[in-house]
Amino acid sequence: MPRTLLTLATYNERENLRPLVEAILGLGIAELDILVVDDNSPDGTGQLADELAASHPNIRVLHRAGKLGLGTAHVAAMRHAIAHSYDFVATMDADFSHHPRYLPDILARKDDCDLVIGSRYVPGGGVRNWGRLRRLMSWGANAYVKLLLGLKPRDCSGAYKCYRVATLRRVDLDGIVAKGYAFQEEITWRMQLAGARIAEVPIVFENRRLGQTKMSLREIAGLFTTVLRLRWRRLTGRIHQAKGEEQNP
């Protein structure tokens, strides 16, 4: 039976981690392991993750030296999945913005897709408790990356995803530019360049339950500069289509 690794990248998520893990385990999904990647959270999230791992054999913890960025956390999880021969690796936020109830629907599409995206912008998807400015910023960011990178999905910036590991092996993880939130757009683009079959499953994104958001103006600015760098590298031939794969526009 295919094995799936679910990644929870954490920084100061002690209030959310236990109920989230319990909700995921309560789904009863077969052959699902959980990897908590903690960036040395000052609030003790890493220690709590160790306690959960001691009680549940399908939970693992990867401790990192400090706050190294969401993108690098996901790359570390992808490398872990490759090294330990998982068939799929899934990612979701650790603050209940991505509700576990959508996880079975996302995983249900994994067998005929290489990348499944939990999407806010397909019929049935949406956001909850967002103001007009945040909605506009999200729409603008998606429009921007589609224009410059030719991305096909409607939701390019979400982190609720499931990747086929065999396709990830064709992606140059060493060449990833983004360290923070812009990683979501970059990895989706690189999967598309690798010829990935991409599907979107509707989800409703909600504001976090507890704690404070990690998004900042610096992260938002980083998205725009990262996309420009990727566009330039593609135009100058420094990023190539995966060998033998169909060309994308």
Sign of torsion over alpha carbons 62, 110, 2, 240 = negative
* pLDDT of res. 244: 40
- Helix (H) / strand (E) containing 10: strand 4-10
Q: What pLDDT sits at residue 113?
A: 97
CA distance 94 to 101: 14
Q: Where exactly are the structural domains of the chain?
A: 4-235
Q: What is the value of pTM for the model shown?
A: 0.90
For residue 36, give the H/E element and its range: strand 32-38
Question: Distance of CA 157 to CAs 142, 183, 205, 207, 225, Å?
Answer: 7, 8, 12, 15, 15
11-38 pLDDT, tens per residue?
Answer: 999 999 999 999 999 999 999 999 999 9
45 in Cβ contact with 10 (< 8 Å) = yes
Chosen CATH of 4-235 out of 3.40.50.10860, 3.30.1340.10, 2.40.30.30, 3.90.550.10: 3.90.550.10
Query: How open is the CA angle 73-173-219, to the nearest 5 degrees?
Result: 50
Q: Could you tell me if 34 and 8 are in contact, meaning their C-beta atoms sit under 8 angstroms apart?
A: yes
State the pLDDT at residue 35. 98
Residue 243: CA count within 13 A, CB half-sphere: 3
Low-confidence residues of the chain: pLDDT under 50: 243-249
Q: What are phi and psi of 52, to 5 degrees?
A: -65, -40
Identify the pLDDT of residue 179: 87
State the pLDDT at residue 243.
Answer: 45
Question: Sign of the CA dihedral 107, 198, 62, 46?
Answer: negative
How far apart are the C-alpha atoms of 38 and 59, rounded to whole Å? Answer: 13
Query: Phi, psi (5° rounding) for residue 128?
Result: -135, 135
User: Which residues lie closer than 8 Å to 57 by C-beta, 6 or more apart?
Assistant: none
Tokens for 208, please give them: 């976090």
Distance CA 99, CA 107 (A): 14
Q: Residue 90 contacts by C-beta under 8 Å, 6 or more apart in sequence?
A: 4, 5, 6, 7, 103, 106, 107, 161, 162, 163
pLDDT in tens, 94-123: 999 999 999 999 999 999 999 999 999 999
CA distance 136 to 141: 9
